[in-house]
Amino acid sequence: MGVMDFVRGGVQEMIIARPDAQKSLYVYKHPERTIPKWSQLTIAADEAVVFLRDGALVGVLRTAGVGQRHTLDTGNIPFLSNLVDSVTGGNIFVTDLYFVTMRPIRDTRFGGPLQAMKDPELEITVSPRIFGTFQWRVTEPEKFIVNYLGTGESPSNDRVESFITTKFMNAVKRTVPVFVIRQKIEVQNLGAYQEELGQTFLQKCDDLSDIGAQFVGLGDFTINFSEEELKRIQDAQKQYADIKAQKRAKDDLGGGNYMQYAAAKAMMGAGEGMAKGGGEGGGMMQGGLGFGMGMSMAQMYQQQMNPYGGWGQPPGGPPGYPQGGPQGGPPPGYPQQGYPQGAPPGAPTAPMAAAPTPSVGQDGQVNCTQCGKRVAPGKFCAECGASMAPTPKACAGCGTMNPPGSKFCANCGHKM
């Protein structure tokens, strides 16, 4: 039974509502443009109804309340007078009627490739992809119809969301590279910053108020890479780990831990040699050779860096104290293992021979030991400026310092 059948039969009430099968549509257009006066319009709590005529907005209605309907009459709804069809004696309204969902639209999908960006940690350029969901809602249904969808037939949800999803994705593309640079994090770790990214996405999104819509929030999202890109990142991570290990080794080297570093490298080389040796005997021999060479080089380097080994700088000893030591013992200047550490009780300490002083001639002058000139006695030569103080000489046998001019060591008797 059509609309005109209602009028001819004297029945002036029709029930108008969105069919249950169309509840999932974001926007549903009522199929009939002619609506009898006194019709009962049912509007759900999560939707609004927009009245248009000839492409122009006439009015908007929201729900009448629980269990209530709107009775379409100019006395109840004044803007309906703009929809009256005079040909039918005022019993018909001519309008395009749209039901618009007002609840938040959740789980709207977005995703795709992001622009290439430089990973601040690995220092390589990567091309990630992002996929996830976001939420949005209609805030002004009349703008949503007039400024966005137009007055055509009921659009599909994909068509409704296409423009909005593009807007959101553009905000994501603008935000992620800047966020990575400012936070100085690896692109693969962006998932850990979901809350911060969600807030930033919403701040950077274009304003949708001109089409009567609004972004509400971000759902779950993931950032991934193609297989080729992922392999390239993994290779870069391995190289980066090796560089960090080498840097730590250099730091240890500067701190005197080169023996530990060299021993570890030698053991690693031995393991690689055994893995590649091709046989048990050959692998073990190559591994042992590599280990021995690594340890020998470590010891040589350590001796060059610190000739006193683990003993540190020698404290020195009193004049006349033996400066040599047995092989494998402490360096000169340290107490020698297995030797008496002091003179026997009551034994006299070997005195250091007194240094001879330049002889003063009858003219009251002395000979400079450097230039040979006759100058007045003093600490420095008046002719060449050299020190006039005698320079002690070390014994080649025991290391004891002896006055200049000594022919034999005062401590061990060794010929000077």
- For residue range 321-330, what is the model confidence (pLDDT) as tens digits? 455 555 555 5
Spatial separation of the C-alpha atoms in residues 390 and 384, rounded to whole Å:
16
pLDDT at 101: 97
Question: What DSSP character marks residue 145?
Answer: I
Token reading at 385: 């400026």
Strands of 198-243 (E only): list them.
213-224
DSSP string over 109-140: EEEEEPPPEEETTTTEEE--EEEEEEEEEES-
Give the least confident one: 8-17, 60-69, 137-146, 383-392: 8-17
The answer to whether residues 383 and 366 touch, using CB atoms and an 8 Å cutoff, is: no
Spatial separation of the C-alpha atoms in residues 227 and 233, rounded to whole Å: 10
Q: Which two tokens stand for residue 14?
A: 């029709």
For residue 343, pLDDT beyond 60: no
Q: Which two tokens stand for residue 243?
A: 């560089």
Predicted confidence at residue 262, as pLDDT, reads 56
Residue 377's pLDDT is: 84
- The whole-number average pLDDT for the span 130-136 is 94
Name, in order, each residue with C-beta under 8 angstroms of 385's C-beta and a sequence gap of 6 or more: none
Please give the pLDDT value at position 255: 53
Higher-confidence residue of 368 and 6: namely 368
Tens digit of each residue's pLDDT (9 = 90 or more) over 251-289: 766 555 555 655 555 555 555 555 555 444 454 445 454
Contact yes or no for 277/284 (Cβ under 8 A): yes
pLDDT interval class at 8 (50, 70, 90): very low
Residue 342 has pLDDT above 50, yes or no: no
pLDDT average, residue stretch 280-301: 50
Mean pLDDT value across the chain: 78
Q: Which of 18-22, 66-70, 172-176, 382-386 has the highest mean pLDDT?
A: 18-22
- For position 284, what pLDDT does the model report? 47
The whole-angstrom separation of Cα 201 and Cα 403 is 85
b/e per residue 123-143 (b: at least 16 CB within 10 A): eeebebebebebebbbebbbb
Q: How confident is the model at residue 113 (pLDDT cuts 50, 70, 90)?
A: very high
- List the one residue out of 88, 77, 64, 72 whose CA is nearest residue 30: 72
CA distances from 120 to 125, 252, 351 (A): 9, 26, 70
Q: Higher confidence at residue 95 or residue 87? A: 95
pLDDT at residue 97 is higher than 50:
yes
**CA-CA distance, 243 to 237, in Å (whole number)?**
10
Task: Judge whether 147 and 212 are in contact, CB under 8 Å.
Answer: yes
Residue pair 149/27 in contact by the 8 Å Cβ criterion: yes
What is the number of H-type helices and E-type strands within the chain? 7, 18
User: pLDDT tens, 348-364?
Assistant: 444 544 445 566 777 77
Note the pLDDT of residue 158.
94
CA 370 – CA 365 distance, rounded (Å): 15
> What sections of 100-212 are H helices per DSSP?
141-143, 157-183, 194-204
Query: Around Cβ 17, how many Cβ atoms within 10 Å?
Result: 15
CA neighbor of 43 nearest in space, from 69, 71, 74, 79: 69
- Position 220 scores a pLDDT of 87
Q: Residue 302's pLDDT is what? A: 52
Unique residue bearing structure tokens 């029709």: 14
pLDDT at 92 over 90: yes
Looking at residues 91-112, what average pLDDT do you find?
95
Out of 12-26, 284-298, 394-408, which region has the weakest mean confidence (pLDDT)?
Answer: 284-298
Most confident of 162-176, 184-198, 286-300, 350-364: 162-176
pLDDT of residue 347: 46
